[in-house]
């Protein structure tokens, strides 16, 4: 589960999710570097408030390889996988209505700005980074940039921007290839087995979320990727038919 060391304005995961679902959203500004509409907001219920990111479906640019209007749902699906793995890779994320319609709302991570992200992305002994590589393999993340790494002062590592994930075809693009072909850790295999069990349970929260936000073929592809990781017990290799590193990598 996600850390509660102050990365989310002092809120724990459960409290943060409750606030995201029921609080009032106030738009404070826009992150202009983002390719889709990404709004910096405050969410408040009168007693509590926190910074968050709101990505309305109406602000999504059409993509040739993903169905229109689905990126917000993919972000929520990524959070569901993160929680199923038990690693808290993704900040608390919900799908809800907002000032510009339905969209994804995610708690803002107050990161550690002293960390050199380029150096961090190259580490091979960082537990959180290796977990993220496994997580990305499960969701088929096609855009793991260095700037999507969010280390916190408490030592936890989060990731953001998972809208272009869960494609049916293998499209893993990442800066985290340092473990390719290496054996998965016992911890990773245990977490993957837990995800496989939840995917097999059609009544689980994970299955419900994926069924709601992904196509049937994409949901089956998630299950197959998990099965392959468990079967082969190694980190995946880059595809020879798809660029292996996003551009720009930062």
Residue 40 domain flag: yes
User: pLDDT in tens for each of the 250 residues of the chain?
Assistant: 444 446 898 999 999 999 999 999 999 999 988 889 999 999 999 999 999 999 999 999 999 999 999 999 999 999 999 999 999 999 999 999 999 999 999 999 999 999 999 999 999 999 999 999 999 999 999 999 999 999 999 999 999 999 999 999 999 999 999 999 999 999 999 999 999 999 999 999 999 999 999 999 999 999 999 999 999 999 999 999 889 999 999 9
Q: How far is CA 235 from CA 44, 138, 171, 187, 216, in A?
A: 41, 11, 15, 13, 25
pLDDT for the residue 34: 85
Residue 204 domain flag: yes
Q: What are phi and psi of 62, to 5 degrees?
A: -60, 140
Structural domain of 119: 13-232
Residue 3 domain flag: no
Q: How far is CA 189 from CA 55, 135, 156, 196, 245, in A?
A: 33, 12, 21, 10, 25
pLDDT for the residue 35: 84
* Total number of domains constituting the chain: 1
pLDDT for the residue 6: 67
Residue 185 domain flag: yes
Residue 57 domain flag: yes
Residue 198 domain flag: yes
Residue 17 domain flag: yes
Question: What is the 3-state secondary structure of the chain?
Answer: CCCCCCCCCCCCHHHHHHHHHHCEEEEEEECCCCCCCCEEEEEECCCCEEEEEEEEHHHCCCECCECCCCHHHHHHHHHHHHHHHCCCCCCCEEEECCCCCCEEEEECCCCCCCCCHHHHHCCCCCHHHHHHHHHHHHHCCCCECHHHEEECCCCCEEECCCCCCCCCCCCCCECCCCCCCCECCHHHHHHHHHHHHHHHCCCCHHHHHHHHHCCHHHHHHHHHHHHHHHHHCECCCCCCCCCCCCCCCC
pLDDT for the residue 4: 47
pLDDT for the residue 202: 94
Residue 1 domain flag: no
What are the tokens at 108? 């803002």
User: Beta-strand (E) ranges in 131-248?
Assistant: 149-151, 157-159
């Amino acid at each position: 589960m996600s850390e509660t060391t102050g990365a989310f304005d002092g809120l724990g995961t459960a409290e943060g999710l409750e606030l995201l679902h029921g609080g009032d959203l106030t738009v404070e500004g826009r992150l202009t570097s983002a390719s889709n509409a990404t709004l910096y907001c405050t969410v408040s219920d009168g007693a509590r408030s926190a910074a968050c990111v709101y990505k309305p479906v109406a602000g999504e640019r059409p993509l040739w390889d993903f169905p229109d209007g689905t990126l917000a749902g993919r972000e929520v699906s990524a959070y569901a996988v993160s929680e199923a793995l038990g690693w808290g890779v993704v900040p608390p994320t919900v799908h809800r209505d907002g000032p510009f319609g339905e969209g994804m709302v995610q708690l803002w991570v107050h990161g550690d700005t002293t960390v050199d992200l380029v150096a961090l992305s190259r580490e091979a002994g960082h537990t959180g980074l290796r977990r993220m590589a496994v997580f990305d393999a499960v969701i088929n993340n096609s855009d793991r940039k260095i700037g999507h790494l969010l280390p916190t002062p408490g030592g936890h590592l989060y990731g953001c921007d998972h809208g272009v994930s869960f494609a049916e075809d293998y499209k893993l693009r990442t800066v985290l290839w340092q473990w390719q072909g290496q054996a998965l850790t016992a911890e990773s295999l245990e977490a993957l087995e837990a995800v496989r069990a939840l995917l097999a349970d059609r009544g689980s929260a994970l299955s419900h979320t994926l069924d709601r936000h992904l196509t049937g073929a994409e949901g089956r592809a998630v299950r197959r990727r998990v099965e392959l990781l468990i079967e082969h017990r190694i980190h995946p290799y880059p595809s020879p038919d798809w660029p292996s590193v996003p551009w720009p990598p930062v």
